[in-house]
Amino acid sequence: MLFGIEWDTSTSWAFAWSILPILLRGMVVTIQASLLGFFVALGLGLLLASLKGVPLKIIAWPAAFITEFLRDTPLLIQLFFLYYVLPDYGIVLPAFLTGALALGVQYSAYTAEVYRAGIQAVPRGQKEAARALNLSERLTFIHVILPQAVVRIVPAMGNYLVSIMKDVPVLSVVTVLEMLNVAKIIGDRTFNYLIPLTMVGALYLLLTLVAAWGVRVLDTRLPKRGIPLK
Amino acid sequence: MNEPIIRCEGVVKRFGELTVLDHLDFTVDPGEKVTIIGPSGSGKSTVLRVLMTLERINEGVVYVDGEPLWHEQGAKGLEPASEAHLRKMRQKMGMVFQHFNLFPHMTVLRNLTEAPRYVLGLSPREARQRAEELLELVGLSDKAEAFPSQLSGGQQQRVAIARALAMRPKIMLFDEPTSALDPELVGEVLRVIRSLAEEHELTMLLVTHEMDFARRISDRVCFFDQGRILEQGPPEEIFSSPKEQRTREFLHAVLHPEE
């Protein structure tokens, strides 16, 4: 029994059918952690990318260092750090929040790079034309640079969303009851790992396919008439 | 005599080791049509980019319309200009680029109304009306809803000219406006620039390699060499009887490239 739901071990099919609702509960956690992590990565990445672009070295350098550090250390270390070290300093977060935060922090290093590349791909002449027309810096960014950068950014961000989903099982080591952890617990208690793990694999495939499809739909809906994309 | 609308005094611009403008002194009168010619790397485009505030200067003072461009009058003389001052000064100028630099994600109409609406604060209707008049002027009334990528190079450059004019500048800066065009499209752009040259009020600075065109529309031709004006005068003088050896060599190389 898990989450108050009993399983039926009489036949393989009955077993699979009975644990499906339990796995779906885990799947909800997986989706929640992915989305939360993704949004943290989107926000923090934009912040890091902006800071790295600041002309002042005293701001740009630490931002560049943090990005490099996050990208070059394993997710598990960052997760342990947030989960086991932060409480020593009085910051105690639930396992789920800690996990989603760790995912977001790690992936912010990647999304920062996507933002930077997307903005840099906009030709310099665009900024010069905007300045010659006396558009403010803010308006130049919002009306001229961003619309041309977004169409380059969205597909890459979609890939990272799928990557984050596939990294969620790492959170099981800090007791988050995401899909794989749930399957493992079922296996531990019934001595049948084959069926729950196979189902998790199938559910994962379904999940990532849907996410990839969603990103593709979003990408085709973006207004990109006239924007030269290489 | 009128006060010059542009006055460069001892302007120096360096890119690292390279000195692009070397103590340049240069004045333009209101309404004057000045063509700048010279070999590549002579600093002719840089002058326009300095005026449009796309490049900072290292030394000297530039006056536009009686006010310092890159400086402000402070308590202890001239101080580096604030962004607010630069924005005020930019208002006086418009620029046409070699590669058009239209905003590719906006329609032609939107390209023309963007700055009048958000910088000058025109209502959408006023901005649209102004844009439509200008599109008629450049002969592209039927392309208002097109995107730049759907236009030929010549049409794009005409839109770019209209876009700059929509801000009603006193000074128009043309940076090699036909250099990126296929030869058969050069004419339509030159015709538009020529019609502008008939406006007495508008001051025009044109960097070009179209010598015949320069001869026909300019009040004065300046030959740039190594970051300075080596020789200047009325077009007939520069093209027919240049005094300097370097000018003669350059004109010969441009007008008779095969020899």
A225 touches chain B (CB under 8 A): yes
Is the pLDDT higher at B1 or at A106? A106
Please check the confidence at residue A195 and state whether its pLDDT lies above 80.
yes
> For residue A216, what are the CA distances in angstroms to A141, A147, A155, A219, B45?
25, 18, 7, 5, 44
What average pLDDT does the segment B165-173 reach? 95
Residue A125 lies in a domain: yes
Residue A64 lies in a domain: yes
Residue A1 lies in a domain: no
pTM > 0.90 = no
Please check the confidence at residue A225 and state whether its pLDDT lies above 80.
no
Q: What is the pLDDT of residues B227-241, one digit of tens each?
A: 999 999 999 999 999
Residue A228 lies in a domain: no
Spell out which residues of chain A touch residue B179, defining contact as CB-CB under 8 Å. none
Determine the 3-state secondary structure of B33 from DSSP: strand
Spell out which residues of chain A touch residue B119, defining contact as CB-CB under 8 Å. 133-136
**CA B87 and chain centroid, separation:** 17
Looking at the 3D structure of chain A, how many domains does it have? Answer: 1
- Domain boundaries, position A75: 12-221
Interchain pair B52, A147: CB under 8 A: no
Complex confidence, ipTM: 0.91
Surface of A (115-154) touching B: CB under 8 A: 123, 125-126, 128-136, 139, 143-144, 147-148
What average pLDDT does the segment A204-210 reach? 93
Residue A7 lies in a domain: no
Residue A227 lies in a domain: no
B98–chain A nearest CA distance, Å? 10
What average pLDDT does the segment A194-217 reach? 93
At how many degrees (to 10) do helices A95-120 and A57-72 cross?
A: 120
CATH number, domain with residue A217: 1.10.3720.10
Identify the band that residue A228 occupies on the pLDDT scale cut at 50, 70 and 90: low
Identify the band that residue B190 occupies on the pLDDT scale cut at 50, 70 and 90: very high
Q: What is the pLDDT of residues B48-63, one digit of tens each?
A: 999 999 999 999 999 9
What average pLDDT does the segment A165-172 reach? 94
Surface of B (71-90) touching A: CB under 8 A: 87, 90
A188 touches chain B (CB under 8 A): no
Q: What is the pLDDT of residues A208-223, one digit of tens each?
A: 999 989 988 888 887 7
Residue A94 lies in a domain: yes
Spell out which residues of chain A touch residue B95, defining contact as CB-CB under 8 Å. 132
Average pLDDT, chain B: 93
Identity (one letter) of the amino acid at A126? Answer: Q
Please check the confidence at residue B86 and state whether its pLDDT lies above 80.
yes
Question: Shortest CB distance from B119 goes to which of A125, A135, A226?
Answer: A135
Question: Shortest CB distance from B147 goes to which of A123, A134, A225?
Answer: A225
Interchain pair B114, A126: CB under 8 A: no
Q: How far apart are the first and last CA of chain B?
A: 44
